[in-house]
Amino acid sequence: MPLGEQVANNLPYLRRYARALTGSQSTGDAFVRQTLEAALADDELKASLADGRVPLYRAFNKVWSSAYLETAGDAPETGAHESAAHDRLSAITPLNRQALLLTTLEDFTIDQTAEIMDLDSDSVEKLVQEAIEEIDRESSTSVLIIEDEPLISMQLEDLVTSLGHEICGTAATRTQAQEVVAERTPGLVLADIQLADGSSGLDAVDDILALDSVPVIFITAYPERLLTGDRPEPTYLVTKPFKEATVRTAISQALFFNSSQPLG
């Protein structure tokens, strides 16, 4: 497979990781662009990308580690969420959350994560454990689940409550989501893209975000369709079928930044 095609195939998932790490579509996508620009300027780095996802994420990690605060400060302010995300970057503990995101959201092994982060495997395992302990100390919130598959909805309910959060409602359609929010604004939304009556989870979320800035995690079988970088897109995406650890990590990161409203 040509190098350009191989990188293009991995790019949506690097965008997903970058957005989750930074809490912002625009900041995350900016880091991805910087990574590609660095590869174009360095023949050795560009050649290394032929070895797959690990060297691509390793290249991104070097850009992130050396410049994330500067980029966050220089990125354009586009609203309350973007400003809050930039403020949060100054207090972030990047190493342990990075290790957790790589091993859960991106499904790298401990050894692969160690290579990406330029650490030894024991250090990565300790960082992951630190991040999990941080999650266990997080404050609870109320969660709205928008999902039309009953079994998946129940699985998400069990997971959310096991983390100490409460369910403020479940919905299988956009209309049902509107009814729940009319009674109570959630502190977090987990949303499928395709809903039972043909309505869109994206539209249901837009209804909620028109009322208040709420963290949102989209759960979809086709994440690459929402990771093009060409338009305002979700910040947090989990791929179906999902692992509970992946959803747990996404919830933690979304609450860490306190909002995931799509940003241009």
Contacts of 163 (CB under 8 A, 6+ apart): 135, 138, 140, 248, 251
| Mean pLDDT value of segment 167-186 | 94
pLDDT of residue 13: 93
pLDDT of residue 68: 53
User: Is the pLDDT at 167 greater than 80, yes or no?
Assistant: yes
User: Is the pLDDT at 91 greater than 90, yes or no?
Assistant: no
pTM: 0.82
Q: Of 71, 135, 126, which Cα lies nearest the Cα of 95?
A: 126
- Mean pLDDT taken over the chain: 86
CB 39 within 8 A of CB 49: yes
Q: Taking the C-alpha atoms of 197, 180, 259 and 26 in order, what is their torsion angle to the nearest 10 degrees?
A: 20
User: Is the pLDDT at 210 greater than 50, yes or no?
Assistant: yes
pLDDT of residue 106: 95
Residue 70 binned pLDDT confidence (cut-offs 50, 70, 90): low
